[in-house]
Structure 1
């Protein structure tokens, strides 16, 4: 009686072809054994809430927004002042105030006007102009009712206020005048008030304090206590 065949174990893989076609063996790559020493990371709901809260932009306080508004107003006011200063020097523009009502109702008492210096030869009848009356006398602003050119750039102008029943006592012989190009009623008192040294000093001090507060270094101690608690727990 022939002995029974024994099973022989081998490390080489055995392939069973699905058909009669020749097949190529596929190399077997062993997998590393799983151990408990592999570090794993876990995220808790609390840590996620802390991270999401940390990246959230902080809401600006009302004081910060007021500071920004104040700085914007100061910037606009500064630009306007610079523009008016340049215009005054380059274009010979000045501002005058009407303390009397001789030009009512066209220019009421307490108004301000912007005047532009021009040669007297350019004055026409009907223009509202300001002329200098000499040493010790204040300039006068009235309407030109008669213009006579004398030559050499000099002009003799007769003037009268709109509210006056009669012309000015004597005509004015001038070579340059200041013509009214714009006027606004009721602003003379505000300009006089702003020109007060105490008012100017208070405005300057307030603007300086506002700028100092805006650019003062901010500390990092203002974090919320609940954020510190969450971060310590994580």
Structure 2
């Protein structure tokens, strides 16, 4: 065999060896694993947290209800204060039935302070009495008060359920006129103002707020973040 033939044979053997090595490396390379979809896992985790067991859902609903009721109560208090300060509007509770059946005993009326000069016959007004509680009756007669200031009036009042008018007219410069009334509300207000009702309400609200905002095992620990296993 000539020298040139030997060199040709060595080149062919070298090429065959390189091909065998490339084939072996290709077979040993691991298959590519699919990348986990972390966003889908996060969404699934959030969905599972939102769709928690019945107790967390109930606790969340009660908490939202308590906050909503408290907010509404605050708004009502603010509106009541604003009405009393800026519009001279207050409430009057009827303890007797002298204005029945129009305004029975136990009713509550919304009244507004007005000058006596604006009162007309037929209005139901509340007037102050020096040595007694205020009286709320219907105006049946209006006379000028010659012995008082120009804005003063002599009002003769009579209860709808009374057979006669009040014994003497009232000399007033201003009264509280009834705007609207609602029967039986006064009874509920009296019951709510009793010591037993106030104590029971305080205990109930305190227990409800404590149970609602007390941390649970689910809320005390932060949720674990999804990771990629090695």
TM normalised by structure 2 equals 0.71
Hey, what's the Cα distance between the residues in 1 that align with 2:207 and 2:80? Answer: 25
**Deviation string, structure 1 residues 76-99 (Cα, Å, up to 9, x no partner):** 121111101111121111111111
Would the aligned equivalents of 2:91 and 2:111 in 1 still touch at CA under 8 Å?
A: yes
**Deviation string, structure 1 residues 8-52 (Cα, Å, up to 9, x no partner):** xxxxxxxxxxxxxxxxxxxxxxxx99744477223689x999666
Hey, what's the Cα distance between the residues in 2 that align with 1:84 and 1:187? Answer: 17
Q: Look up the match of 2:164.
A: 166
Query: RMSD in angstroms over aligned alpha carbons?
Result: 3.6
Q: Look up the match of 1:29.
A: none
Q: Look up the match of 1:102.
A: 98
State the shift of 1:191 in Å: 1.3
- Give the helix-richer structure, 1 or 2: 2
Q: Look up the match of 1:219.
A: 220
Would the aligned equivalents of 1:107 and 1:185 in 2 still touch at CA under 8 Å?
A: yes
Provide the secondary structure at the position in 1 that maps to 2:80: helix
State the shift of 1:62 in Å: 1.6
Q: Look up the match of 2:45.
A: 54
1:127-206 map, 5 Å = 127-134=123-130, 136-150=131-145, 151-197=149-195, 199-200=197-198, 202-204=200-202, 206=204
Would the aligned equivalents of 1:92 and 1:117 in 2 still touch at CA under 8 Å?
A: yes
Would the aligned equivalents of 2:109 and 2:178 in 1 still touch at CA under 8 Å?
A: yes
Q: Look up the match of 1:80.
A: 76
Q: Which runs of 5+ in 2 are unaligned?
A: 1-21
Hey, what's the Cα distance between the residues in 2 that align with 1:51 and 1:89? Answer: 54
The 3 A distance-change label for structure 1 pair 78 and 48 is closer
Hey, what's the Cα distance between the residues in 2 that align with 1:201 and 1:82? Answer: 24
State the shift of 1:145 in Å: 0.3
Q: Look up the match of 2:11.
A: none
Q: Look up the match of 1:25.
A: none
Would the aligned equivalents of 1:130 and 1:179 in 2 still touch at CA under 8 Å?
A: yes
> What is the number of residues matched between the two proteins?
196
Hey, what's the Cα distance between the residues in 2 that align with 1:122 and 1:62? Answer: 55
State the shift of 1:64 in Å: 1.5
The 3 A distance-change label for structure 1 pair 146 and 52 is closer
Q: Quick one: which of 88, 95, 101 aligns to 1:92?
A: 88
The 3 A distance-change label for structure 1 pair 52 and 115 is closer
TM normalised by structure 1 equals 0.70
Provide the secondary structure at the position in 1 that maps to 2:165: coil
Hey, what's the Cα distance between the residues in 2 that align with 1:220 and 1:145? Answer: 73
Would the aligned equivalents of 2:93 and 2:108 in 1 still touch at CA under 8 Å?
A: yes
Hey, what's the Cα distance between the residues in 1 that align with 2:82 and 2:39? Answer: 59
